[in-house]
């Protein structure tokens, strides 16, 4: 089989593949389009930042697998690849240490004026007084995201005797402390930290996570380092803060595209690099060896554990997979969006056979910002990295729920105790429905579309109040289910609306009926 490597990847990958009996064509001087045009018979493709578009995929009719030598894979059209029955993999963790060390390098470069000091000294200047720097030692450093990179950064900072604050919504307090970081909320970190380093996933859930309010909280002269993803920091808010006289240091290594251009951060960044986080010989070799190993195992052993665009078994109804994701999202919100410590689920009747295939869907429903499209094994790894224990239980023989799913989330309260939130659902006439939320049973309400959920002390007139407020806002009720729990004396209004209910409208409704729980979802 022929493997194409159109990138500057350590030659160890090619050597390993050749030793495994593969034919390898590696050419970093040619574009990916030129290389695939010259070798249309290739079965495998290993890339770094090269764009694997639909056109590239179509030019390789024998292509079976694409491996991204790195963690992110947004440069690959993995959805189109799936439509062509092509698997896409990444190599998670290969670049983590390189990025952690880059953060240290950027902090020191900014603190000690390494870049302007070099440029001006070469030009014959002597700006010793102008470049009075600062020391990293004993500074307070806030790390947003304690995944692979964040944890390594904690270790690297230990030699500088730093106080490390860590923000990770999904890690328990004790687990964060074990890593070496004191758990803290975003507001606390931005108020107290001398340096803030970002290591959260990109995507809609974290876009402009670092907003104007957080930026205003930063200490005078504080440093913000973004080696995560472009778009996580609201750079317009940074510009406005600097125009208003706020003093800070901004270092970034991420941009809209990995290409030559005047980058949008150029006017605001004190230190900026061309996405060099993974650009070390060591990381390159590690990613090369990992991608080669995955390629060999894929073709010789059928190993698909790192595939990120997995397809369900042909005889598993996709509606049940979407049900699992919707139940996860619903349960997370019912529980108050608290950190999840454990997930337990039960699959009834025919679904028991396919238990492992539901893990990625439960992950991406219950855990905001989680990677989508993971294979079951990779999803289980992701859950462990989030500090979540995952268990698929055997159903009790005396409970017959047809092809149903029960999902229990164990969430950590502010006092350290755990709260269990439980939901059950099934697919009815092709539509995912929820049949139970905690003690509120026999609901059978559709999960699709726009949903408003309100829990309140049962009494006459509440439904009328809800309807009136929604009507005044121009929102039509398409369906409403309001079961009552006789033990607590509460009712739960599960309201389907024609358009989404805004956050402010939810607050208005909650105040009007003195609700104990109020949120809206669109699924």
Looking at the domain assignment, is residue 255 inside a domain?
yes
SS3 content of the chain, % helix, strand, coil (to 5): 35, 25, 40
Whole-angstrom CA distances from 352 to 347, 393, 401 are 5, 10, 12
Instruction: At 55, list the tokens.
Output: 């056109």
**Quick one: pLDDT band at residue 416, thresholds 50, 70, 90?**
confident
Verify that 129 and 160 share a domain, yes or no. yes
- CB-based contact 31:6 (threshold 8 Å): yes
Look over the chain and give the mean of its residue pLDDT values, rounded to a whole number.
92
Count of alpha carbons within 13 angstroms of residue 456, beta-carbon side: 22
Verify that 170 and 233 share a domain, yes or no. yes
**Quick one: pLDDT band at residue 191, thresholds 50, 70, 90?**
very high
Note the Cα 395 to chain centre separation in Å.
31
- pLDDT value of position 398: 60
Verify that 320 and 437 share a domain, yes or no. yes
26 sits in which H/E element? strand 23-26
Total count of domains within the chain = 4
> Helix, strand or coil for residue 93?
coil
Instruction: At 370, list the tokens.
Output: 């989680």
- CB-based contact 451:434 (threshold 8 Å): no
Higher local confidence (pLDDT), 232 or 352: 232
- CB-based contact 192:219 (threshold 8 Å): yes
- pLDDT value of position 286: 94
Residues 206-217: what's their mean pLDDT?
Answer: 93
Verify that 86 and 112 share a domain, yes or no. no
pLDDT digits (tens, 9 = 90+) for 444-471: 999 999 999 999 999 999 999 999 999 9
- CB-based contact 357:376 (threshold 8 Å): yes
Residues of the chain with pLDDT > 70: what percent? Answer: 97
Instruction: At 41, list the tokens.
Output: 């018979």
Select from 397, 413, 447 the last residue of a domain: 447
Tell whether the model's pLDDT for residue 202 goes beyond 80.
no
Verify that 122 and 253 share a domain, yes or no. yes
Cα dihedral sign for 458, 464, 470, 476? positive
pLDDT digits (tens, 9 = 90+) for 497-517: 999 999 999 999 999 999 999
Select from 426, 447, 468 the last residue of a domain: 447
Q: Which domain covers residue 508, as residue numbers?
A: 449-523
pLDDT digits (tens, 9 = 90+) for 321-346: 999 999 999 999 999 999 899 999 99
- pLDDT value of position 378: 77
Residues 138-165: what's their mean pLDDT?
Answer: 95
Tell whether the model's pLDDT for residue 19 goes beyond 90.
yes
- pLDDT value of position 473: 95
pLDDT digits (tens, 9 = 90+) for 386-406: 888 999 887 775 666 789 999
**Quick one: pLDDT band at residue 92, thresholds 50, 70, 90?**
confident
Note the Cα 40 to chain centre separation in Å.
35
Residues 419-439: what's their mean pLDDT?
Answer: 95
Q: Report how far residue 8's alpha carbon sits from residue 69's, in angstroms, rounded to the nearest whole number.
A: 11
The DSSP output letter for 423 is E
Specify the CATH number for the domain of residue 285. Answer: 3.40.50.720
Looking at the domain assignment, is residue 308 inside a domain?
no
| b (16+ CB within 10 A) / e for 430-453 | eebbbbbbbebeebebbbebbbbb
Verify that 430 and 521 share a domain, yes or no. no
Tell whether the model's pLDDT for residue 172 goes beyond 90.
no
Looking at the domain assignment, is residue 135 inside a domain?
yes
The DSSP output letter for 223 is E
Looking at the domain assignment, is residue 306 inside a domain?
no
- CB-based contact 77:54 (threshold 8 Å): yes
Cα dihedral sign for 72, 78, 81, 86? positive
Looking at the domain assignment, is residue 471 inside a domain?
yes
Verify that 267 and 154 share a domain, yes or no. yes
Tell whether the model's pLDDT for residue 356 goes beyond 80.
yes
Verify that 49 and 32 share a domain, yes or no. yes
Instruction: At 276, list the tokens.
Output: 């060099």
pLDDT digits (tens, 9 = 90+) for 94-140: 889 999 999 999 999 999 999 999 999 999 999 999 999 999 999 99
> Helix, strand or coil for residue 330?
helix
């Amino acid at each position: 089989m022929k493997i194409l490597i159109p990138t500057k990847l350590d030659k160890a990958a090619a050597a390993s593949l050749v030793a495994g009996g593969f034919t390898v064509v590696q050419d970093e001087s040619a574009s990916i389009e030129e290389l695939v045009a010259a070798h249309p018979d290739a079965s495998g493709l290993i890339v770094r930042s090269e764009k694997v578009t639909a056109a590239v995929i179509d030019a390789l009719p024998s292509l079976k697998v694409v491996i991204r030598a790195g963690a992110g894979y947004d440069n690959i059209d993995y959805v189109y690849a799936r439509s062509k029955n092509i698997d896409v993999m990444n190599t998670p963790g290969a670049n983590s240490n390189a990025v952690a060390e880059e953060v240290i390098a950027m902090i020191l470069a900014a603190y000690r004026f390494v870049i302007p000091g070099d440029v001006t000294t070469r030009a014959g200047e002597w700006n010793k007084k102008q470049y009075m720097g600062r020391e990293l030692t004993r500074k307070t450093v806030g790390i947003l995201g304690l995944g692979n990179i964040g944890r390594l950064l904690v270790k690297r900072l230990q030699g500088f005797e730093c106080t490390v604050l860590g923000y990770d919504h999904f890690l328990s307090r004790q687990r964060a402390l074990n890593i070496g970081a004191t758990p803290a909320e975003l507001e606390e970190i931005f108020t107290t930290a001398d340096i803030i380093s970002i290591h959260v996933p990109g995507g809609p859930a974290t876009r402009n996570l670092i907003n104007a309010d957080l930026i205003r909280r930063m200490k005078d002269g504080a440093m913000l380092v973004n080696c995560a993803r472009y778009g996580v920091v609201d750079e317009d808010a940074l510009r406005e803060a600097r125009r208003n006289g706020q003093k800070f240091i901004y270092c970034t290594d991420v941009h809209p595209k990995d290409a030559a251009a005047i980058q949008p951060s150029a006017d605001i960044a004190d230190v900026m690099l061309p996405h060099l986080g993974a650009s070390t010989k060591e990381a390159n070799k590690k990613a090369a060896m990992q991608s080669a190993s995955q390629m060999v195992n894929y073709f010789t052993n059928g190993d698909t554990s790192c595939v990120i665009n997995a397809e369900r078994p042909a005889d598993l109804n996709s509606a049940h997979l979407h049900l699992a994701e919707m139940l996860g999202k619903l349960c997370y919100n019912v529980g108050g969006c608290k950190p999840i410590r454990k997930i337990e689920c039960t699959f009834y009747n025919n679904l028991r056979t396919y238990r492992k295939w539901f893990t990625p869907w439960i992950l991406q429903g219950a855990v905001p910002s989680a990677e989508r499209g993971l294979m079951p094994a990779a999803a289980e790894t992701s859950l462990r990295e989030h500090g979540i224990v995952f268990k698929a239980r055997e159903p009790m023989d005396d409970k017959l729920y047809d092809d149903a799913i029960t999902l229990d989330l164990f969430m950590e309260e502010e006092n350290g105790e755990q709260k269990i939130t439980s939901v059950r659902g099934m697919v009815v006439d092709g539509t995912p429905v929820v049949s139970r939320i905690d003690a509120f049973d026999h609901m059978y309400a559709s999960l699709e579309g726009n949903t408003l959920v309100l829990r309140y002390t049962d009494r006459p007139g509440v439904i009328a109040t809800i309807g009136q407020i929604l009507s005044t806002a121009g929102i039509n009720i398409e369906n409403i289910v309001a079961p009552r729990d006789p033990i607590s004396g509460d009712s739960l209004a599960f309201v389907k609306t024609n358009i989404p209910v805004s956050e402010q409208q939810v607050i208005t409704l909650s105040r009007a009926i003195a609700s104990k729980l109020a949120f809206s979802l669109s699924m």
